[in-house]
Homo-oligomer: A and B are copies of this chain.
C-alpha cells in the first residue's frame, strides 16, 4: 500500500461554509477515483494551538494509484475551486505503508 497524507490550513477569512464545502467536495473523490482504497477526512478537533485545519489520509495500492489520484481531473477541480481559494498553507507526505 501507498499512503498520501495532506494537512491543510485555511485563511483567516475563510467562511464556515467554504470550509464545509472543501471537506464535502473532497469526500466525493472516492466515488470518482476508483484507485482510492481508503480515504479519511478529518476536521481538526481544536485540542492544540497552531494546528492545521483539515487532514486527508488516502491509501492506494501503490504509487501509481496515488499518481492517478494526484493528477485526476476531479481532484484538480476540487483543489482549484474549493481548496486554493481558502488555502493558507499545506503540508504533505507520501510513504509506503
- Residues of A that sit less than 8 Å from B by CB: 2-3, 5, 7, 9, 40, 42-45, 47-48, 50-55, 57, 63, 66-67, 70, 89, 91-97
Contacts and interface: CB of A to CB of B under 8 A. Distances in A.
A1 to B, nearest CB: 10
Nearest to A45: B94
B40 A97 contact: yes
Contact of A93 (B3, B44, B67): B44
B7 A93 contact: yes
A31 to B, nearest CB: 20
Given A7-B91, A57-B57, 5 more contacts: A3-B42, A5-B55, A5-B57, A40-B97, A45-B95
